[in-house]
Amino acid sequence: MLIFTRVRKSPFWHLSIEQGAWRATIYNRIYHPFGYVRPEDGGAMVEYRALKENVTLWNVAVERQIRVKGPDAEAFVDYVITRDATKIPAMKARYVILCNSKGGVLNDPILLRLSQDEFWFSLADSDIGIYLQGVNHDKSFDVEIDELDICPLQVQGPKSLALMQDLVGDQVSLSEMPYYGLAEANIAGCECVISQTGFSGEAGFEIYPRDSTLHAEALWYTILKAGEAHNLMVTAPPHCRRIQAGILSWGQDMDDQHNPFQCNLGYQVSLSGKGEWNKAGDYIGKRALEQMRTQLRAGERPYKLQLVGLVMGGKPIEDFAPDFWPLATGEDQSPCGFITSPWYHPDIGRNIAMGYVPFDGTLNQRGFPIGTYGKQFKAYLPDEYAEYPGRPVDAEVVPMPFTKSYFDSARERFAT
């Protein structure tokens, strides 16, 4: 990839290069290291095993931190997200989504609430900072919206707690921190916010260093030194594991052309009436989303495609897909859907994927749309992964997340 001045480098960029990052992508208009182990040395699956067995450090400085602060911070945040911001306590985080007026998903950040009047949006890959400033262009809400010099790192894997305890000592009782809990701590002279969150489905923490540009090197080297005792490895975020966990990636598994219901995020939508997800105030996208929910409950299909989990044949997919691969039904080779996130699942010995298939109106017990488990499709993979060049492989709709217990119960069926 061409590296030049038009795209931002994070304060951890040169440190990632020092650790052997050999490829990168662009995320939130920032260079994002996306591979440390070269293919000839085992590639991304070596990084995956480090996450599963030990502990990994990720440079995720591309997660921009957009602060909303002021007397109307809660009201403003409540207006732009689909769930109830008033129910988020101080020093807690939540996974949230923002929709446009048509109900399309604009972003799915982690929202951190630092205090009554201060929120941070830890962004997925879209220009939500500029969007939020545009929403409040007329200063209807008494808030300031700006980007902070806070570039996160993630510490993920089964040894993450032990490493983090070495880093923060008695400052915070991390073992008692709830999931999505927040805490303040000092690491290597840098004031940090710590959350028990991550993009892996494994145990893990995220470190949000204040004044990152000033403290990046000291913080990075301190973590590396402490990690020696825990077999720490610097890696890219292993997407193999997040796919197993059913964690969506904005821009890959959804974008503003998809509504929350069709990408399994209907539980995030607050609707009028009683219930856990109701909130009294208006929010962007509410009318469109309420109409979709009404149509779904009436047995109608307000959209064509539904995101599902798939298990499929083919040779092991052990790197990122360069394109969206077609899905078809039976002998009909006309595409009816597409694969968004494929990877090989080592624990079950099969390829798994997320993808969009025709929505057949199936709802779960909570009234949210799902795919029909067991439904069969044909997946057209590139020749390097196809069992026979030019021929599709079988793909079957299965529940997400891709839990090992489910596949253990079905292993004999898959084997045949």
**Six-digit token pair at 148?**
């902070």
User: What are the pLDDT digits (tens) for 375-401?
Assistant: 999 999 999 999 999 899 999 999 999
Residue 114: partners with Cβ closer than 8 Å, 6 or more residues away: 90, 91, 120, 182, 193
Residues belonging to the binding site for substrate are 206
* Bridge partner residues of 193 (DSSP): 184, 208
How does pLDDT run across 70-127, given as a tens digit for each residue? 999 999 999 999 999 999 999 999 999 999 999 999 999 999 999 999 999 999 999 9
- The CATH code belonging to domain 244-269+304-415 is 3.30.1360.120
Share of the chain above pLDDT 90, in %: 87
Q: What angle do CA 396, 401, 405 make, to 5 degrees?
A: 85
Please state, for a pLDDT cut of 70, what percent of the chain lies above it: 94
> What is the average pLDDT value for the chain, to the nearest integer?
93
Determine the average pLDDT of the residues in 390-413: 79
Displacement of CA 14 from its chain's centroid (Å): 25
| Whether residue 245 has pLDDT greater than 50 | yes
pLDDT in tens, 153-171: 999 999 999 999 999 999 9
Query: What mean pLDDT comes out for the span 199-212?
Result: 95
Query: By C-alpha distance, which of 63, 102, 68, 101 is closest to 85?
Result: 68
At 343, the pLDDT band (50, 70, 90 cuts) reads: very high
Confidence of residue 410 (pLDDT cuts 50, 70, 90): low
Of residues 122, 8, 147, the one with CA closest to residue 69: 147
Mean pLDDT over 329-355 rounds to 91
- Does residue 411 register a pLDDT over 60? no
Domains 13-63+151-237 and 244-269+304-415 belong to one CATH topology:
yes
| pLDDT on residue 416 | 43
**13-63+151-237, superfamily in CATH?**
Probable tRNA modification gtpase trme; domain 1 (3.30.1360.120)
Which of 28, 46, 101 has the alpha carbon at shortest distance from 259? 101
DSSP H/E element including 80: helix 73-80
pLDDT-derived band of residue 368, with 50, 70 and 90 as boundaries?
A: confident
What is the 8-class DSSP label of residue 298? T
Extract the annotated binding site.
206
Task: Give residue 274's pLDDT.
Answer: 40
Parallel, antiparallel or unpaired: strands 232-234 and 337-345: unpaired
pLDDT digits (tens, 9 = 90+) for 18-60: 999 999 999 999 999 999 999 999 999 999 999 999 999 999 9
* Domain spans, the chain: 13-63+151-237, 244-269+304-415
Residue 68 is classified by DSSP as E
The string of pLDDT tens digits covering residues 123-138 is: 999 999 999 999 999 9
Phi-psi region of 273 (alpha: psi -120 to 50; beta: other; left: phi over 0): left
pLDDT category of residue 302 using cuts at 50, 70 and 90: very high
